[in-house]
Amino acid sequence: MLEIMTIVGARPQFIKAAVFSRRVRTAPFADKIHEVLVHTGQHYDDTMSDVFFRDMEIPEPEYNLGIGSGTHGATTGAMLAGIEKLIIERKPDVVLVYGDTNSTLAGALAASKLHIPVAHVEAGLRSFMMAMPEEQNRVLTDHLSTWLFCPTSAAVDNLQKEGIGISKPQKPTADNKDVVECGDIMYEGSLFYREKAIEKTKDFMSKMPKKFYLLTIHRAENTDDRERMASIVRAINRFKDVEAVFPVHPRTRKMLAQYDLQFESHVHLIDPVGYFEMLALENACEFVLTDSGGVQKEAYFFGKPCITLRESTEWVELVAHGWNRLTGANEKKIEEALAEMPVLGDNHLLYGEGTTSKVIADVLLENS
């Protein structure tokens, strides 16, 4: 029996873990793989954490480290110590991490220092902005990992430029990695959950405007910079052709109040929503305005164009195929992009066929 210790801590990871956990708990993997789910506590309130486990029927984590918020160094260090202790106790065969959060890096560091192989899902993504904590986390995790599960060919190319090629070793190691282009696990999740989400959120959606665009803002590069936030708010306030629905991240709400920035009445601020509500909003909206990496992709999954409030994106194929437009926090660029929406991209299939979790499970069983 292959024991996989999966580390999660933030909303996008709960969604990805739900897809993989469901796969390995059903035939033909249930009698071959045992998954131990570890929640670091990085997202710890009900709206950002517990609701996802309930709605998506993810097994309750066997361990919750309860780390909570804090500075990058303090939280990553606490996660590293907590995960290391569990690895020593459990002695898993593989530690699996998702994405680019502090939980991701802590899991990879703890495992690699104890000589436990690391599997990184969403490997190879690059924004080419090392000032971003997420970029630091994903680059370091890739170089610590044994299996690199890439969602796109662009991600594979990024790894090759860093000297990590596709060698397909018989027994992969951190020094002789296995790079696998497997499609996007979030795409698989959206395919599985979308009908259920639409059915379960009818009452919630009845309270939304008939025509709206979806707005999300949470990245530190925007929220921690008053001028960037002010520029974004001004541009949105001036665009009144379409109403906006804005599920407000707790940190974003705090910073808006601190900066004394307010949205006009055509922007509807609501509390953070669960995954099903988010899928329903993405399904119903005209287009998306965001600084989130995951929401950029989810917009594409639902055939909705996206404006991204960043200077770069790790999902370069969305820009190349016309589904995403980068504006940064430039007031004029945001206004121009909003005025032109919706502009649809082409029909190229970008993120696989929705079988990512099976590919990951098969590879880990074959090569562990």
Which residues have a catalytic role annotated? 218
**Angle between helices 250-259 and 226-238 in degrees, nearest 10:** 90
State the alpha helices, DSSP H only, in 201-309: 202-206, 220-223, 226-238, 250-259, 275-284, 293-301
Closest CA to 138 of 120, 112, 161, 165: 120
Residue closest to 314 by CA, chosen among 139, 118, 109, 119: 139
**Distance of alpha carbon 332 from alpha carbon 343, whole angstroms:** 18
Calpha distance 331→227 (Å, rounded)? 10
Q: Residue 237 and residue 305: Cα distance in Å, rounded?
A: 20
For residues 182 and 352, the answer to whether their CB atoms sit within 8 Å is: yes
Beta carbons of 250 and 272 less than 8 angstroms apart: yes
Helices (H) and strands (E) in the chain, counts: 16, 13
The residue with tokens 């949105």 is 236
As to burial, measured by CB atoms within 10 angstroms (0-12 exposed, 13-18 middle, 19+ buried), residue 356 is buried
- Match 């192989």 to its residue by tokens: 117
Degrees to nearest 5, angle at CA 212 with 209 and 217:
115
Q: Is 149 helix (H, G, I), strand (E, B) or coil?
A: strand
In single-letter form, the type of residue at position 68 comes to G
Q: How far apart are CA 96 and CA 127, in angstroms?
A: 22
Residue 172 is classified by DSSP as -
Residue 102: in which H helix or E strand, if any? helix 102-113
